[in-house]
Structure 1
Amino acid sequence: MRQSLIFSGSSHPALVDGICERLGQRPGKAELRKFSNGETSVQIQTSIRDQNIFIVQSGSEKINDNVMELLIMINACKGASAKSITAVMPYFPYSRQSKKKSHRGSITARMIANLLNVAGVNHVITIDLHASQMQGFFHCPIDNLVAEPLIARWIKVNVPDWKNGVVVSKNPGGTKRVTSLADALKLSFGIVTTDRSRPGQHSPMNASMIFDKLGLDGTNELESGDVDSISALPPLEPVAEEPPPQENSRTPSHRARAASNPLSKRMVNSSSDSPSSPLAKSARRPSPSSSPPRSPLRPTRVNTAPEPHTPGEDGDGNEYTDERAQNVITGRLRQGHIVDDDAPSPAFSAVSNPSGRSRYRGNNDEDSAIPEHMMSSFVSTASSFRPEHALGGSAEGGQSSEDEEDDLENPELETTVTLVGNVKDRPVFIVDDILDRSGSWIAAAETVIKRGEATQVYCMATHALCTEQCLEELENCGCINKIVVTNTFPISPAKLVRSKKLVVIDVANLLAEAIRRNHHGESISALFMHYD
């Protein structure tokens, strides 16, 4: 390409070599070094006047150095009279910090976009932004390429039974990405969700009268006499109301009924000291109702016993055949792994007192434990009133992949996992944009294998930010067959050698074509399409 140069940062030189090889040119010469105090120095060693400059710099393990180096290179090219400067960032740094997760948080991704604008960038090319709304952060055109066609092509070539597969999202936040791939391959999709309940936290429900009587707040206890007294009360009977009589309709019968009303007697006695008071005047009036005197109001005893029901049948005696209920499967996770349904739960022990005995008192035994179905109901109700809400009253801002991973690794916290979708006897493709920590991936893989009875599991992500421990844990998981990623984030050769399940898809051809089309002013719509 004439009148164009491609410069490489220090983050991913192998990717730049692949791009230049496909474009038939050499990388531009630039000296990148650091001073003794850690400052970054950039020196462009070739003429770039009136040329289109493309600087390829992705995120790496030294993310802060990469960002500063890119800003200095952009500013150096701007000062050298370059015609246009395009920043090619396969993995956009700080893309996961695209919204405020607390009132005193920072939208760091927007700050990086502002820094690029101040440095003098004219165009940005990236792949799979963590949130597509981030394109509004930039003051220049941005091309957000997708790795979906590359992943779909790998599935068609390397998975024999891919037409029977199911694309699964490991969290609700990735459903849009999963449905897009499922529509492209014309496959079904599913969702894996986790309920991060935190037993032991007090909720506003604990202040209610029912929770006080049950002793869940640690102050009061439900005595057997209270249960007997409540159950012995008669049901509340409805009383027919009559229109009030006129002022001139005070007959002896009205006065007699008023005298016989206990409520009227109490009102008269209490107001005898002040005859001119409004209460006394109202007490001297006859009772407005001609009905018999009312009995004191008492609560109605409600029969809460469930109606007998035969499993598998509806109210008409017909067999229940709704298949949608069969596609929802739940399980229990302990430290990110599926456990049996009869395994002891830390949620029950967290709500008991230090002596190990529950504070509930039944009618027969003072130290009897709370029934399991009652305790699970109380815990689930209390956990729904979580105090750490996000901005605007939504839990979306507070939730993040880091919070989910921390909850899965907590040994004192049990997580409930739900699989929505039919994956039985089918290969499963678990798809996300970032592969950083292994907890949620392993939990989703074990759920679809052990609960959903899937045949194979392929974990697929665009940006492989995984550490040594992450790859090792995924490698040791017997439920995962392959780990498919791209090389937008640099992966060391040592990791590639140690991991037998890791498959890396090269994005050099995608970026090279995007650079060529931008240089010649051509459309890039073809880069978003799927080809057989």
Structure 2
Amino acid sequence: MSVPHRAPAELLNSRRSPLLVFAGQSNRPLAQAICDHLGVPLGRSKTEKFTNDNIIVHYEESLREGDVFIVQTFSNPVSDSIMELMLMIDAAKSASAGRVTAVIPYYSYARSDKKDSPRISIAGRLIADLLQEAGADRILTMTLHAPQVHGFFKVPVDHLSADLVLSEHFRQCVPDAHNGVVLAPDAGSIKRASQIARRLDSGLAMIDKERLSDTEVRPRALIGDVDGKTVFIVDDEISTAGSLVETVNIARSMGAKDVYVAVTHGVYSGPAIQRIAGLDVTQVASTNTVLVPESKVEASNGKLAVLDVAPLFANAITNIHTGASVSTLFT
């Protein structure tokens, strides 16, 4: 019996590239949680640092024609995390991976999105160029500091939002959250605060700030009513918590009853934990885009909470792998 001829394209299209997920060293617990939701094992790879501080990455399984996703968040030490990711991307392309997607839950250099003082680099664009030069075919990230950073990439970018996770967390903490007020700490975060307020069916307020210099910003007024109400402060990230302290103090001075804080990225650098421990808030929550050590949770007087976004990333990876729409995850 003769075998029907099949065109090469048909033969290739009948074989879906295997889904392979690997992780750098910055946030392996999140990568493992993503794999648990996907029902696939976390890929085997090894990263070593030589005595001269150079990094080498080695994959311990075949990547040939695979649909490879590399999870690496840009957290401390940021430069090592970026270098490791670029080496992993380059090694995957050299190993004949079919497609390489860089999964960057926290893109820290997104804060450097414009030239706001003389003789500086727009580092957010530079890092985007380096990742593409390394061979990244696609980027998957969450809550960029500014939407224009999306445009720094010439490859497709899927930009996830943690708004649904934060909104549900507020609802669980405060059953009558609809009677509260979502407070934007500045004009730049008002759009996001408005979206969460709509999800909660709650009120909305904003703190108006004036810039005194390139590095100094001073709160000027609170627009909206928080007197006697539960206040939900939302932002993209907490670094040293200096702005958070100012925002909470203004809300309290205006009569806020209880204050809850939720952000996507809990960086908690420098004096952040000490400031949060002494802050007049009920809770400060962040997602696990950045690994928050248990020691920081304990040092915060029990005020820190960590929310899981692994299911969101797992669903996005599934949709990218199968060619489905990622935007449907937010409707």
**1:420 and 2:223 aligned:** yes
**1:489 and 2:290 aligned:** yes
Please, which runs of 5 or more residues in structure 1 have no aligned partner?
198-387, 389-397, 405-414
Matched-pair identity in %: 36
Q: Secondary structure at the match of 1:69?
A: helix
Aligned counterparts of 2:122 and 2:270: Cα–Cα separation in 1:
29
Q: How does 1:324-363 map to 2 (within 5 A)?
A: none
**Alpha-carbon distance, 1:51 to partner:** 0.8
**Alpha-carbon distance, 1:425 to partner:** 1.3
Contact 2:240 / 2:270 at 8 angstroms: preserved in 1? no
Q: 1:471 to 1:78 in 2, by over 3 A?
A: same
**1:100 and 2:139 aligned:** no
**1:68 and 2:83 aligned:** yes
Q: How does 1:354-503 map to 2 (within 5 A)?
A: 398=214, 403-404=216-217, 417-450=220-253, 452-467=254-269, 469-478=271-280, 480-499=281-300, 500-503=302-305
Q: 1:49 to 1:471 in 2, by over 3 A?
A: same
**Alpha-carbon distance, 1:106 to partner:** 1.1
Q: Secondary structure at the match of 2:108?
A: coil
Letter in 1 for 2:294: P
RMSD: 1.6
Aligned counterparts of 1:121 and 1:477: Cα–Cα separation in 2:
42
Question: Which structure features the higher share of strand residues?
Answer: 2
Please, which runs of 5 or more residues in structure 2 have no aligned partner?
1-15
Aligned counterparts of 1:459 and 1:193: Cα–Cα separation in 2:
18
Pick from 113, 128, 133 the counterpart of residue 143 of structure 2. 128
Q: 1:75 to 1:470 in 2, by over 3 A?
A: same
Aligned counterparts of 1:4 and 1:403: Cα–Cα separation in 2:
47
Contact 2:17 / 2:65 at 8 angstroms: preserved in 1? no
The ranges of structure 1 where at least 4 consecutive aligned residues each deviate by more than 3 angstroms after the TM superposition are: 194-197
Aligned counterparts of 2:274 and 2:250: Cα–Cα separation in 1:
20
**Alpha-carbon distance, 1:93 to partner:** 2.9
Contact 2:297 / 2:304 at 8 angstroms: preserved in 1? yes
Letter in 2 for 1:437: T
Aligned counterparts of 1:62 and 1:424: Cα–Cα separation in 2:
42
**Alpha-carbon distance, 1:439 to partner:** 2.1
Q: What CA deviation, in whole Å up to 9, does each residue of 1:131-155 have, x standing for no partner?
A: 1111111111000000000011111
Letter in 1 for 2:326: I
Q: 1:169 to 1:37 in 2, by over 3 A?
A: same
Query: Between Structure 1 and Structure 2, whose CA radius of gyration is higher?
Result: 1
**Alpha-carbon distance, 1:468 to partner:** 5.6
**Alpha-carbon distance, 1:185 to partner:** 2.3
- Number of aligned positions between the proteins: 315
**Alpha-carbon distance, 1:85 to partner:** 0.3
TM-score by length of 2: 0.91
Q: How does 1:201-280 map to 2 (within 5 A)?
A: none
Aligned counterparts of 1:439 and 1:7: Cα–Cα separation in 2:
35
Aligned counterparts of 2:216 and 2:55: Cα–Cα separation in 1:
34
Contact 1:85 / 1:120 at 8 angstroms: preserved in 2? yes
Contact 1:67 / 1:93 at 8 angstroms: preserved in 2? no
Aligned counterparts of 2:172 and 2:261: Cα–Cα separation in 1:
16
Aligned counterparts of 2:243 and 2:219: Cα–Cα separation in 1:
12
Q: How does 1:9-20 map to 2 (within 5 A)?
A: 9-20=24-35
Q: What CA deviation, in whole Å up to 9, does each residue of 1:432-479 have, x standing for no partner?
A: 1010122221121121112x211111111100111262122112122x
Aligned counterparts of 1:439 and 1:498: Cα–Cα separation in 2:
17
Q: Which has the higher contact order (CA 8 A, sep 6+)?
A: 1
Q: Match for residue 62 of structure 2?
A: 47
Q: Match for residue 9 of structure 2?
A: none
Aligned counterparts of 2:307 and 2:219: Cα–Cα separation in 1:
34
**Alpha-carbon distance, 1:2 to partner:** 6.5
Q: What CA deviation, in whole Å up to 9, does each residue of 1:86-108 have, x standing for no partner?
A: 00000013110011111312110
**Alpha-carbon distance, 1:196 to partner:** 5.2
Aligned counterparts of 1:133 and 1:162: Cα–Cα separation in 2:
32
Q: Match for residue 271 of structure 1?
A: none
TM-score by length of 1: 0.57
**Alpha-carbon distance, 1:29 to partner:** 1.3
Aligned counterparts of 2:85 and 2:180: Cα–Cα separation in 1:
41
Q: What CA deviation, in whole Å up to 9, does each residue of 1:32-65 have, x standing for no partner?
A: 0011100010111111111100000001110000
Contact 2:64 / 2:95 at 8 angstroms: preserved in 1? yes
Q: 1:498 to 1:486 in 2, by over 3 A?
A: same
